[in-house]
Amino acid sequence: MTGKRLVWGAIAAAALAAAGCARIPYLKRFVKPPYYPYQKKTALYSFEYPRKWGEPSKMEFGAELREPKGRMTVSVEFVPKESKAYVDPATYRKDMSQWGSVEDEHRVYRVEISSTARQGLQARFTTYEYDARYLLGQEVRVTMTELTIVPDPRGLFRVVYRAPRNLFWNAANRRQLQHFLKSLVLSPPPEPPVLFKKGQ
């Protein structure tokens, strides 16, 4: 009897395992994806954001992703030429090289951004925030920013990554930034933009 019980037990276990495997495709329907798409009808850009971070916040010209614990933010904006906030790329390039603190390199790089390989300008700089309640010169918060601008005949794209200085190069932060940039799609211009004139 014991032998028969063992045989029937093995058969039952195999049947249950097979049934479980058969249900796996159906269970996948209920598994939430780690990233959700963000795409608005009127926006000239789209990207993916982490599900656990929640819906991106709206900005005047774009949207911002914020890590729940404040470890980093990433935003993308499109500023049209007719807006008062628009700054032409040449002026932006000059200003970007001057922003920051004495420890920054004050350099502007040419980069490619978005899955559509758009050419842009990028700079990194440090900012110090102080609180009037503390002694003069006592720092409260130190933030690093990576700003990328992409000229466009219709205006200007801005992509901004910010994080506390001690977390700017954090591996988890960089992974989220890289996923954002990999998924980012900037609307192609109606005509090829001129990033620099000859001689610049």
pLDDT less than 70: residues of the chain: 1-30, 132-139, 190-200
The three-state secondary structure class of 30 is helix
pLDDT of residue 9: 52
Region of residue 117 (left: phi > 0; alpha: psi -120 to 50; beta: else)? left
| Token pair belonging to 39 | 């795409």
Per the listing, tokens 């780690």 go with 34
Give me the count of residues in the chain: 200
Residue with tokens 């989220």, as numbered in its chain: 176
Name which of 179, 116, 126, 180 is nearest 150 in CA terms.
116
Q: Are 62 and 78 in contact (CB under 8 A)?
A: yes
Angle at 81 between CA 75 and CA 82, to 5 degrees: 115
**Residue found under tokens 């993916």:** 48
Q: What is the predicted pLDDT for the residue at 192?
A: 54
- Tell me what pLDDT residue 59 has: 92
pLDDT at site 92 = 92
Pairwise CA distance, residues 193 & 117, whole Å = 13
| pLDDT for the residue 16 | 47
CA–CA dist 111, 80 (Å, integer): 21
pLDDT score recorded for residue 22: 47
State the distance between the two ends of the chain, measured CA to CA, in whole angstroms: 91
User: In the prediction, which pLDDT does 98 show?
Assistant: 93
